[in-house]
Homo-oligomer: A and B are copies of this chain.
Amino acid sequence: MPTFHTRVSEVGPGSVNLRGYPLAEVMRELTYAEGAFLSIIGRLPTDAERRLVDVTLNSLLDHGYVASTITASRYIASGNPQFVPAVAGGLLAAGSNTLSPEHSYGLLRAAADLRAAEGLDFIGAAHRVVEGYVQERRRLPGFGHPVHKSSDFRADIVFEVAHELGLAGDGVRQFEALHQAFVALTGKQNIPINIDGALAAVGSDLGWSSDQTVAFALLSVLPGLMAHVIEEINEGVPLRYIEDGDYAGPPESPLPARDTTNRGAQ
C-alpha cells in the first residue's frame, strides 16, 4: 500500500498544524477567505490578494436556474431530500460547459507558448490562438453567456479590482487581447469575456494552477447551491418530474419470437 504523505496539515492531540500555522491561531485571527487561501495555496495571502480573493469568491454566489449545478441539485433533492448528497451531486455538474476556468487556462498557455517560441506580442499571440479555434469551429472557452449577453458584470468587476490592486498581469492582459482578437476575427462585438475566463486570467496572474482556480470557483458557487438545496428540501415537493413530451426513438412493437431453448430467461 503506497504511504500517504501530505504537506497540508499535521494532526496531533490538541493541535493541528495547518500549512505551518497553528489552527487555533488561524481560527482566532484570520477571515475564512484567508484560511481557505492558506489551505489551498499553501501560504498566507497579501492584503491585496485577500481583497481580490473576497471579490472572486463572491462572484458566483448564486446564479439561479441559469446554472445546471443548481437545477441538478434541486432534482436530486426532490428525489432524495437530504442535504449532503444533493450538494455533492450539484457540484458534479461543474465541467467543460460551466465553472471550468481550466479550459480558459488552455488558451492562456497556448498564447504564452506562442509569445515565448515565436516572440509574438500579446495581440499577435491572441490572433493566432483565436484563428485556430475559428478554423476548427470550436467554441472559445471563457467567452459568451446565455443571459449576460453583451457584458458579464462579474468578469468586469473581477478585472477592475485586479487592475485597481495592481494584481493584473500577463494573464489579464492576454485575455483582454484574446477578446480583442475574437471581436476582430469574428465581427461579433457583443460576446463578452465571461466569469470563467476572468477567473482563469486572474487565477493565472496570482500563480494559481487551474485546479486551484477551480477550487475557488466551487467555493464561490456553493453557498447559493446550498441555499437552493435547503429551499428544495423545505418546500417538500415530493418528486419533480418533466412530462415526457418528445420521444424520438422507434415505435413500439412486440419482442421478436425466438427459439426458447436458447432463451436466457427460460
Q: Indicate whether A13 reaches chain B with its CB closer than 8 angstroms.
A: yes
Of A107-115, A125-133, A171-179, A217-225, the one contacting chain B is: A217-225
Residues of the B chain whose Cβ atoms lie less than 8 Å from the Cβ of A22: 252, 254-255
A5 contacts which of B139, B239, B248 (Cβ < 8 Å)? B248
CB distance from A94 to the nearest CB of B (A): 5
Q: Indicate whether A118 reaches chain B with its CB closer than 8 angstroms.
A: no
> When A18-B61, A224-B39 are in contact, do A154 and B252 touch as well, CB less than 8 Å?
no
Of A66-74, A181-189, A199-207, the one contacting chain B is: A66-74
* Contact sample, A vs B, 22 pairs, CB 8 Å cutoff: A6-B64, A11-B244, A15-B153, A18-B62, A19-B250, A20-B252, A24-B157, A25-B255, A27-B55, A27-B154, A28-B157, A32-B33, A39-B62, A44-B256, A78-B93, A79-B95, A79-B97, A87-B91, A139-B238, A212-B230, A215-B230, A262-B266
CB pair A88 B86 closer than 8 Å:
no
Stoichiometry, as copies per complex, reads 4
Q: Which residue of B lies closest to A9 (CB)?
A: B62
Determine the distance from Cα of A220 to Cα of B9 in the docked complex, in whole angstroms.
15
Which of A25-48 touch B at CB < 8 Å? 25-36, 38-40, 42, 44, 47
CB pair A146 B241 closer than 8 Å:
yes
Q: Indicate whether A166 reaches chain B with its CB closer than 8 angstroms.
A: no
CB pair B76 A96 closer than 8 Å:
no
Binding site for B on A (CB under 8 A): 1-36, 38-40, 42, 44, 47, 50-51, 53-55, 57-59, 61-69, 71-76, 78-89, 91-99, 139, 146-151, 153-154, 157-158, 161, 209, 211-212, 214-215, 218-220, 222-224, 226-231, 233, 235, 237-256, 261-266
Determine the distance from Cα of A227 to Cα of B243 in the docked complex, in whole angstroms.
18
CB distance from A31 to the nearest CB of B (A): 4
Q: Which residue of B lies closest to A215 (CB)?
A: B226
CB pair B2 A237 closer than 8 Å:
yes
CB pair A153 B253 closer than 8 Å:
no
CB pair A74 B228 closer than 8 Å:
no
CB pair B252 A157 closer than 8 Å:
no
Determine the distance from Cα of A87 to Cα of B40 in the docked complex, in whole angstroms.
13
Residues of the B chain whose Cβ atoms lie less than 8 Å from the Cβ of A50: 264
Determine the distance from Cα of A102 to Cα of B53 in the docked complex, in whole angstroms.
30
CB pair B59 A68 closer than 8 Å:
no
> When A66-B244, A84-B85, A256-B44 are in contact, do A223 and B231 touch as well, CB less than 8 Å?
no
CB pair B21 A254 closer than 8 Å:
yes
CB pair B255 A3 closer than 8 Å:
no
